[in-house]
Structure 1
């Protein structure tokens, strides 16, 4: 969703073996989207959208930068936002306004530390009413995946706004400074999209899309680390704290890991 450019230095280790990645699959039908209905489109003032995922009947996990106006840097009024659970081809399984929203306490929209900005780019939205629909089930969260792990992502984007798309297999390329680097295919509108890892208990959210980047001509996604951050978000909401900040959204430099084997990349908010 965001079009802000920045540069970052990424420590990208040598070649390693990983599974062949899957192409994006558009979830056009009820059969295709079965099990993914808890992912929805977060509409923002009729001017854009992000992706979010239900993590409780009344809570949606998304990216913190989705709550800010990219031009002014100010927080967007919650009455301009609506979560459309399972949005597909003009209809949603549930429509909900947003009652409250918190960003991670360490997140600052106008921070000069790009790595921290991605690492803590997380928000929890409390819905006006819980979603009590047997078709729309919340997802569990889990600690960050290890390097080389296979993950998947379900997201909306500017060229697939009317139905979500699933990439069943992409890979964790690196985990550095709390930023997860992934080979997942994301684009504008994918901000806040859940990144899943399959477990014996089903698909669990292990990260949230915070940004996309181009490196050596290849597209990568950057994800936020949920390991401790999700519990901290829950605490912020439980204590009714507000951590919104305002300010200009300018160029940043992201440094992931130590400054060895530099590879330049362009960074944008998806």
Structure 2
């Protein structure tokens, strides 16, 4: 039986080793009642040269993020949640100095960036509702064009998308690099998330989901049902960004020099 996103997709993306995911006897959905009959071989996809898609490293785990402004990186909240001595996620964020941003899509990053501030809603520590976070960098990255985002329009059913990530499955070959993942169109819309089928690997958590036509970012990878093979499509949950405009406004204000402690916190945690 698969693990839920190998314990939140990032938990098994160790830097020193890649923990395999057990092959499923029957697929299990990320959450709720999602049709699991669509486990199938995914078509071959080319990778991307979009350097706005970055890798986030912390305490031996890794996630994916996206530069959405020169000083702001968007990722999943559970990627920056603190863990206790047993490795279990607790309801607080890790310290910014424990995070590092790696820029570059191949085996060796060409830039490392430090994080000054972690901004997130008071939910989403274990995926689910509110699984978004913005990392404010110590210094802006002006050499990369930030990824366009879509905050003014909600996703729609059957909308075609593209998903990217730095993840690696148990059977992956070719080393660490940025991947374009095979994915279906949007299958189900919820107030704060949407669901689809995608070929996700541990380490893809926080990766961007782009509208295929506009190439604007509409969501972030939150959780997926995986079997250890990067060619398998499984039920996947994506956090919508259009429900969290206050988080992006807070990030912009902090990047412009405001103190997060003096600004209203992000309080929105939309319903299921």
Aligned to 1:89: 107
Query: In the alignment, which residue of structure 1 is the partner of 2:45?
Result: 25
Aligned match of 1:193 in 207, 211, 220? 207
In structure 2, relative to structure 1, the CA distance for the partners of 1:100 and 1:25 (3 Å cut) is same
Is 1:120 aligned with 2:127? no
In structure 2, the gaps of 5 or more residues are 9-27, 227-231, 254-258
Partners of 1:57 and 1:130 within 8 A in 2: yes
Flag the structure with more relative contact order, 1 or 2, with Cα contacts below 8 A and sequence separation at least 6. 1
Contact between 1:183 and 1:221, CA under 8 Å: does it hold in 2? yes
The answer on whether the counterparts of 1:194 and 1:208 sit within 8 Å (CA) in structure 2 is yes
Q: Residues 162-241 of structure 1 correspond to what in structure 2 (within 5 A)?
A: 162-167=176-181, 170-199=184-213, 202-213=214-225, 219-229=234-244, 231-237=245-251, 238=253, 240-241=260-261
The change in CA–CA distance for 1:177 and 1:129 in structure 2 (over 3 A counts) is same
Give the whole-Å Cα distance in 2 for the aligned partners of 1:173 and 1:119: 18
1:142-167 residue CA offsets vs partner (Å, 9 max, x unmatched):
13421111100110113466201113
Residue in 1 aligned with 2:147?
A: 139
Is the contact made by 2:71 and 2:141 (CA closer than 8 Å) also made in structure 1? yes
The aligned counterpart of 1:149 is 159
Deviation, 1:173, is 1.0
> SS in structure 2 opposite 1:140?
coil
**TM-score normalised by length of structure 2:** 0.70
How much does 1:9 deviate? 2.2
Matches within 5 A, 1:53-64: 53-64=66-77
Q: CA deviation at 1:90?
A: 1.5
Distance 1:162 1:51 in 2: 12
How has the CA–CA distance of structure 1 residues 11 and 98 changed in structure 2, closer, same or farther, with 3 Å as cutoff?
same
Query: What is the root-mean-square deviation of aligned Cα atoms in Å?
Result: 3.4
- The counterpart of 2:82, out of the listed 69, 73, 78, is 69
Greater share of strand: 1
| SS across alignment from 1:3 | helix
Give the Cα separation in 2 of the matches to 1:193 and 1:21.
21
Question: Is the 8 Å Cα contact of residues 213 and 222 (structure 1) preserved in structure 2?
Answer: no
